[in-house]
Structure 1
Amino acid sequence: MMSTPATPDPTMEAIGQAVFEGRTGDTASARQKLLNLWSEIGVTGDPLHRCSLAHYLADLYEDPAPALAWDVRALDAADAVTEQRVQEHHAGLHIAGFYPSLHLNLADNYRRLGSFDAATEHINAAKKHAPDLPQDAYGAVLRTALDEVAEAISQRNTTKRPSAPGPTT
């Protein structure tokens, strides 16, 4: 979801910096920076900021329960993001392209918590939105993850996927 902005956006830049920090191993610091940003943005702030922040913050939790809470916030915020707002951030993005990943994350968290009916509902929603994924490396990674999560749901497997984003145990 992150890309070069059409116009400077300090909040998106701060989110990107925290995400980078988390991906390089300092998940505690990255999580705290995103939580501080969340306090600044607020629950009624810019939906693109809320969606992006919550989506990435969820990945910084090993425990699927808090990850699920942040993924729910991300999906709720996505429903409030307009296409115009996404285009203001980056002309090549479309809000429809956010939904496969958002639903995938929800499906994976519900699966890890053993809530297989809810996981199935969200994996089906992710698959429904999969045609909106770009035909690039990012889209390929998500399509593979969709297959992995669907298979894990069918097997009633609650273990973390080795390819799942987030901190390693």
Structure 2
Amino acid sequence: MEHLEDIMAAVELGRSGDRAAARERLTLFWESANDQQARCVIAHYLADVQDETADELSWDLRALEAVEDELWLPSLHLNLADDYRRLQQAELAHQHLLLAREHLGQLPDDGYGNLIRAGVQHVADALAVGDTQRLESSPST
């Protein structure tokens, strides 16, 4: 993927707290990306640096539209379930949790796979009690 190192540097900016700079850089990459895989990755990370849940949802939906590698599906559906949960759209949250669970079997048995599986459980637990707050385990925290 073109510019992967630059994309990951922008992601690290967001993780270190400079969400505005990360958004700016990732948006520039989004505007110039011409392959679906890059667009999926960039949108996925752009969602994580949004300040508003509705904006996060918009980028997560763009990532899902661009996905080509099914390995991304559990994470994308997990993020969408969490977005809808926080937006108090429980039915859509449940639908995306179901889709995330359907794809969990393709995840490796490693740190990433365990992170996504735990995330599905955290969102399901929060949804079950009607919690609409951002979870500590959210990548956008």
Interval of TM-score (by shorter of Structure 1 and Structure 2) = over 0.9
What are the equivalent positions in structure 2 for 1:1-169 lying under 5 Å apart?
A: 9-41=1-33, 45-78=34-67, 81=68, 95-167=69-141
Kindly report the root-mean-square deviation, in angstroms, between the aligned alpha carbons of the 2 structures.
1.1
Larger RCO (CA within 8 A; separation ≥ 6)? 1
**Residues 75 and 102 of structure 1 are in contact (CA less than 8 Å); yes or no, is this contact kept in structure 2?**
yes
Return the alpha-carbon distance in structure 2 between the equivalents of residues 35 and 126 of structure 1: 26
The count of corresponding residues between Structure 1 and Structure 2 is 141
TM-score, structure 2 length as denominator? 0.95
Structure 2 portions without partners, runs of 5+: none
SS in 2 for 1:124: helix
The one-letter amino acid paired with 1:160 is R
1:46–1:10 CA distance, 2 compared to 1 (3 A): closer
Return the alpha-carbon distance in structure 2 between the equivalents of residues 112 and 134 of structure 1: 28
From the two aligned structures, give the one with the greater helix fraction: 2
Return the alpha-carbon distance in structure 2 between the equivalents of residues 11 and 51 of structure 1: 14
Structure 1 portions without partners, runs of 5+: 1-8, 82-94
Please list the CA deviations of residues 74-122 of structure 1 after superposition, one character each: whole Å capped at 9, or x if unmatched: 00000xx2xxxxxxxxxxxxx2211000000000000000000000000
The one-letter amino acid paired with 1:59 is D
TM-score, structure 1 length as denominator? 0.80
Return the alpha-carbon distance in structure 1 between the equivalents of residues 113 and 57 of structure 2: 22
